[in-house]
Structure 1
Amino acid sequence: MISASKDIILRQEAYAFSHEAVTRHGLTIDEAFIRGIRHIGYRSNLHAIAELIDNSIQAYAQRIDLVFGYSDDGSAKKPNRIAIIDDGHGMPAAMMRLAMMWGGTHREDDREGLGRYGYGLPCAAVSIARCFRILSKLDRAPIFEVCLDLDDLELGSYRAANGLISLPDAQPAELPDFVSQHIQQHYPQGWRSGTIVVLEKLDRVEWTTALGMRTNLLRHLGVTYHKISDLAALYVDGTRVRPVDPLFLTPSADYFGLDDDRAVPLEPVTLSITNPASGRDGLVTLRYSWLPPTFGALDKTRDAVGLNANQRFPILKDYHGIIFSRNGRLIDVQNRLPWTVFINNDRYIRVEIEFSATLDELFGVTTSKQQVSVTAMVWDALRQAGIHKAIEQLRGKVKQAKSFRFEAVSRAPVPKPLAAVVQKRCLTEQAPKAAAPLHSLLVMDGVGGLAANQAHPLFNGSAGAMACAHALQKLVNMLANQASSTGTRAKDEYGDLLTAWCIAAWPDQPDV
């Protein structure tokens, strides 16, 4: 890896100094282009941040951290800065300003890694923030920095005397305080080399709290990089990202052993396709699995709806359709095929198409690596490989499993209604004993609202400490599962509610 890193740095230096790149080339664009490029069409902040992580992986980073920075007033509810830190090989100073430009990459048309266009870093950064800076250092070298601030751009700060917009050269710099603190805590050997992208003036962040941001990033990145998670240790706000296989076939991935339900695989199929644009062959691998109809449920006797949805359910919902992976990195999910459409019942069939980047033209990969537009040539090859038959086979498996489940439920003894039991007892007993009343958790508060019923055993102390602890854990787990199966805003509201409850319950413990 060391020799590979040295080779890349030499290539970066050669690229930077070729054709007088350092002194002659500016952004070669105007302010209107920058404003427009912010709307390039990332589906979410999650997809944009993944672009920045791609760069770190290709720099041979062993560790990648997403770190949140907060305002000086002490509020830790919502970050006002985000840093992506890696310990890769870093960049020479001459390359740094080029890396901030659209198309500035020494990896142009590279088909071996994750990127090839040179658009990812600037596009992803400005889609989230109005200001971003790159700090980078080579091994045993000082830290350099270059910055692009859209507010300064509109004021003309980057326009040279000749009328062209040009980024300044990289300058020696110090790490931001929140980045320096994180490195001191998590890099015991120090930050020897690597690159840091700092996003500031966050005007297009989709989450209202740090909790919502952390939760969504952990899940999305876990799925996106589940096949290549061994390349680098990825952390979000100090929490390790765990791989999540959306086909639930990887025993080491999260949710594989959540309960006794297991995904059932079909035999994978691999085929070779020739790209007529380059004459190069690329491999395509089809993976299949089907899931028991109870796979997304907590209580296996009921459907995975509302509070009964388990932690797998958001994966079933968000990755519903054909999953496309390029060089081991998930890039798209589509539920419409030329011959069929995936409906809600198809959540329990899982199909993945993994393809080599040598076939990018045939799969219509976009510059942002978040969408494919599959050509007719590829669909024909996939049909010849039997994908349409496999999908129908998976549907048949799920339908059969659902019918077995229905028959099992139908054969189960139906308990008699409580009223019938009470009536029978009244007829056969002269003086039946009255049953102990079942207290409701909530009562009317006298002004038209609801309040906790102080007579309930959980609230009056009669239930005991262990029973109360178990009931509390069950309630929090149910709320967490419900939050995971709802939209981003609802997740944040659940998080805010639980945070406020913790503060009210334990006011003397600020870290709860």
Structure 2
Amino acid sequence: MNQITANEANRFNGDIIPPELAVRAMRDSGYRNTDYALAELIDNSVQANATQVDVVCFEVMKQVNQRKSRRIDQIAVIDNGDGMTPETLRIALQFGNGTHLKDRKGIGRFGMGLPNSSISQCRRLEVWSWQAGPQNAMWTYLDVDEIEQGLLKSVPIPEQRPVPQEWRDRSDVIGTSGTLVLWSNFDDHRLQWRGAKATLENTEVLIGRMYRKFIDAGDLTIRLAAYSEDGASFDAPARVNDPLYLMPNSSTPAPFDKEPMFQRWGEGDQSFEIELDGEVHTVLVRISWAKEDTITRGSSPDRGSMPYGKHSSRNVGVSVVRERRELELDKGWTIGYDPRERWWGIEVEFPSALDEIFGVTNNKQHANTFAAMAQFDWTDEADPGEQRSAFRERLQADGDPRSLLIDVTEYIHEQLDEIRRRVKAQTKGKRSSQKRHEDPDVDDQASDKFRERAESGHETETDEAGFTDQDKTELETDLVENDHYSAQDAKNITEAVVSRKRKVQFSTGHLDGHHFFSTKQFGDLTKITFNTNHPIYDQLVEALNPETDDDTDAELLDRVHRASDTLRLLFAAWARYELEETQKHDDLMEMRQEWGKMAKVFLREGSEN
């Protein structure tokens, strides 16, 4: 261990956590980037009963490499809240202190927000707060340089200092009471975005989502503005960004900027009662999914490529909401490689009294216990022979908070299974039906092979059955009622069968049982339906026939690897089946041989007699 000098030891004065070292660690803890840090300040404003908040950036020209560019010099958050007394103001700048430590009713509580979020982005924090007009504001500050040099060991006693005139000119919310938080002296590497406009536009995405319930209800207005020496360069209110896409008048691109893009799932919100310390608290789960006209109202049959589709791709996950304010959009519940995950939304809302149950972190950016439940399966942890009720009782006896969340998370998983099936059904045939009328596809290739087999002496009764008008009607009805295609898509497919004289038509559907495909005859047409309930469909069939417009090269490669692994596991499953079916072993070997021979015919180019 390296030795330190006596002067260095005296400098730390034996402190368990020397202030200058602690502040360095705190600067790197907790806040993902600038917009999350700004959201923390807005939390404080809302907690202080503010109805208006201004987020204002001031830019200056700076020399960057060989040219001058605009860079953020100051960021201010100004509100019309209650303001703070000098005593409260000083406490608010202490780490781990605050006036809401025991208050579970509001969105703030943990006492780290103002100082921690601020120094995570800047080296100097100044705060003005007033309750009798901005001329009578009280002011104090924190300065990282002074703390690191040992010059500042406690929050300076607030002194009376009027709000600077330039900030009064830049904000209309300054009234009888309020607070101005000012950041300056930035480390470039800490700001997520260097320019004011980029900072504010990206901040709108987050705060429009976090505070959507406040903004939508008219309880809060957040103004975003950028200034330079030349005046204002950007000025706009933050718009609602609803990941459930149920709120009108949002930041969603047209035609869904004035109307909801999604529809409610089921009959309404699902509520769960959780009893804790003798009191009952309600957790609400609300679910939405895309309207059918997200497909028909776009200029392209691929709704994911539309501006509103790209917007929804940035709102994928389960929205975790505490006291009307979103903590996070948890992607752990999604299938990361599937672009259709953007077409559903789930929100879980709970009161702050359940913070410990959900595992809320002190920066209010995560609900760790709930997030872990995305991968939770009680059977993985159950003792041999232990039933679900007994397992849950054991968790409760051990004080494990997960016991109170099992019902909530199992409900979400169950609904997601069905939602994903319905979303898949929405787009059946939408992107392939046009190609089916124009170019040969795998249905036609398979049909050619059926004909070749019949013409080479392997004819069956169905080969001569033809495809009558009754067969056409029955196929169309089957596609709608059993495979859940839309009436128009079913009609398009049936017409393609007739016009191309197909012998084979592939389909997808929700089938019962363990088979991963089924076959059904309609005259001389064999309809092969892949079972969307079977894992082979997602991991192999769909992985190799995805909507790939929004996928990166890496995501496409990942799909191929997954499909390749699935194919190997499929063969391994057959090999194991042969081993276990000892009485049928010879028959299975013969079946494998014959199927392999048939597969060679179908996969080989040209005909095979």
The TM-score normalised by the length of structure 1 is 0.67
Higher helix share: 2
Give the alignment of 1:133-212 within 5 angstroms: 133-140=126-133, 142-158=136-152, 165-183=153-171, 186-187=172-173, 191-203=175-187, 204-212=190-198
Higher mean alpha-carbon deviation, 125-134 vs 287-296, is at 287-296
Query: Are residues 391 and 73 of structure 1, via their aligned partners in 2, closer, same or farther at CA, if it must alter by over 3 Å?
Result: closer
Identify the match of residue 249 of structure 1 among 235, 246, 260: 246
Higher mean alpha-carbon deviation, 232-241 vs 70-79, is at 70-79
Structure 1 partner of 2:422: 397
Q: Distance in 2 between matches of 1:378 and 1:83?
A: 41
Structure 1 partner of 2:318: 322
Q: Distance in 2 between matches of 1:222 and 1:297?
A: 28
Q: Distance in 1 between matches of 2:297 and 2:17?
A: 56
Describe the SS at the equivalent of 2:430. helix
Structure 2 partner of 1:351: 346
Structure 2 partner of 1:214: 200
Checking the alignment, whether the CA contact within 8 Å between 2:61 and 2:69 is kept in structure 1 is no
Is 1:53 matched with 2:52? no
Is 1:274 matched with 2:271? no
Checking the alignment, whether the CA contact within 8 Å between 2:21 and 2:148 is kept in structure 1 is no
Structure 1 partner of 2:284: 285
Structure 2 partner of 1:63: 52
Identify the match of residue 376 of structure 1 among 393, 397, 402: 402
Q: Distance in 2 between matches of 1:486 and 1:29?
A: 49
Identify the match of residue 116 of structure 2 among 97, 118, 123: 123
Describe the SS at the equivalent of 1:313. helix
Residue by residue over 1:101-141, the C-alpha shift from the partner in whole angstroms, topping out at 9 and shown as x without a partner, is: 11221211212110111111111101111110110011347
Is 1:92 matched with 2:88? no
Residue by residue over 1:160-190, the C-alpha shift from the partner in whole angstroms, topping out at 9 and shown as x without a partner, is: xxxxx2121001223335413213xx25xx5
CA deviation after TM superposition for structure 1 residue 63, in Å: 1.1
Checking the alignment, whether the CA contact within 8 Å between 1:270 and 1:283 is kept in structure 2 is no
Query: Are residues 130 and 282 of structure 1, via their aligned partners in 2, closer, same or farther at CA, if it must alter by over 3 Å?
Result: same
Query: Are residues 81 and 335 of structure 1, via their aligned partners in 2, closer, same or farther at CA, if it must alter by over 3 Å?
Result: same
Query: Are residues 335 and 354 of structure 1, via their aligned partners in 2, closer, same or farther at CA, if it must alter by over 3 Å?
Result: same
Q: Distance in 2 between matches of 1:118 and 1:297?
A: 50
Structure 1 partner of 2:357: 362
Structure 1 partner of 2:434: 409
CA deviation after TM superposition for structure 1 residue 311, in Å: 4.5
Checking the alignment, whether the CA contact within 8 Å between 2:209 and 2:240 is kept in structure 1 is yes
Query: Are residues 144 and 301 of structure 1, via their aligned partners in 2, closer, same or farther at CA, if it must alter by over 3 Å?
Result: same
Residue by residue over 1:293-315, the C-alpha shift from the partner in whole angstroms, topping out at 9 and shown as x without a partner, is: 8849995425356xx4404523x
Query: Are residues 326 and 198 of structure 1, via their aligned partners in 2, closer, same or farther at CA, if it must alter by over 3 Å?
Result: same
Structure 1 partner of 2:220: 232
Is 1:223 matched with 2:209? yes
Checking the alignment, whether the CA contact within 8 Å between 1:262 and 1:291 is kept in structure 2 is yes
Describe the SS at the equivalent of 1:214. helix
Residue by residue over 1:334-368, the C-alpha shift from the partner in whole angstroms, topping out at 9 and shown as x without a partner, is: 2334xx74542322121111111111111100001
Structure 1 partner of 2:300: 301
Residue by residue over 1:17-52, the C-alpha shift from the partner in whole angstroms, topping out at 9 and shown as x without a partner, is: xxxxxxxxx998611111001111312211111010
Q: Which amino acid aligns with 2:137?
A: I
Query: Are residues 234 and 29 of structure 1, via their aligned partners in 2, closer, same or farther at CA, if it must alter by over 3 Å?
Result: farther
Checking the alignment, whether the CA contact within 8 Å between 1:349 and 1:394 is kept in structure 2 is yes
Query: Are residues 82 and 261 of structure 1, via their aligned partners in 2, closer, same or farther at CA, if it must alter by over 3 Å?
Result: closer
Residue by residue over 1:221-249, the C-alpha shift from the partner in whole angstroms, topping out at 9 and shown as x without a partner, is: 11111111122211111311111211111
Flag structure 1 segments of 5+ consecutive residues without an equivalent.
1-25, 159-164, 415-484, 488-512
Structure 2 partner of 1:444: none
Q: Distance in 2 between matches of 1:27 and 1:326?
A: 35
Checking the alignment, whether the CA contact within 8 Å between 1:64 and 1:234 is kept in structure 2 is yes
Q: Larger C-alpha radius of gyration, 1 or 2?
A: 2
The percent of aligned pairs where both chains have the same amino acid is: 26
Q: Which amino acid aligns with 1:68?
A: C
Structure 1 partner of 2:470: none
Q: Which amino acid aligns with 1:350?
A: G
Flag structure 2 segments of 5+ consecutive residues without an equivalent.
1-14, 226-234, 371-400, 440-549, 553-609
Structure 1 partner of 2:307: 310
Structure 2 partner of 1:3: none
Query: Are residues 241 and 76 of structure 1, via their aligned partners in 2, closer, same or farther at CA, if it must alter by over 3 Å?
Result: farther
Checking the alignment, whether the CA contact within 8 Å between 1:132 and 1:197 is kept in structure 2 is yes
Structure 2 partner of 1:332: 328
Q: Distance in 2 between matches of 1:136 and 1:95?
A: 10
Q: Distance in 2 between matches of 1:53 and 1:412?
A: 55
Q: Distance in 2 between matches of 1:40 and 1:486?
A: 32
Query: Are residues 231 and 292 of structure 1, via their aligned partners in 2, closer, same or farther at CA, if it must alter by over 3 Å?
Result: closer
The TM-score normalised by the length of structure 2 is 0.57
Residue by residue over 1:48-81, the C-alpha shift from the partner in whole angstroms, topping out at 9 and shown as x without a partner, is: 1101001101111121000112338798832210
Is 1:262 matched with 2:261? yes
Alignment coverage as a number of residue pairs: 375
Q: Which amino acid aligns with 1:353?
A: V
Describe the SS at the equivalent of 1:228. helix
Q: Distance in 2 between matches of 1:280 and 1:90?
A: 33
Q: Distance in 1 between matches of 2:420 and 2:179?
A: 47
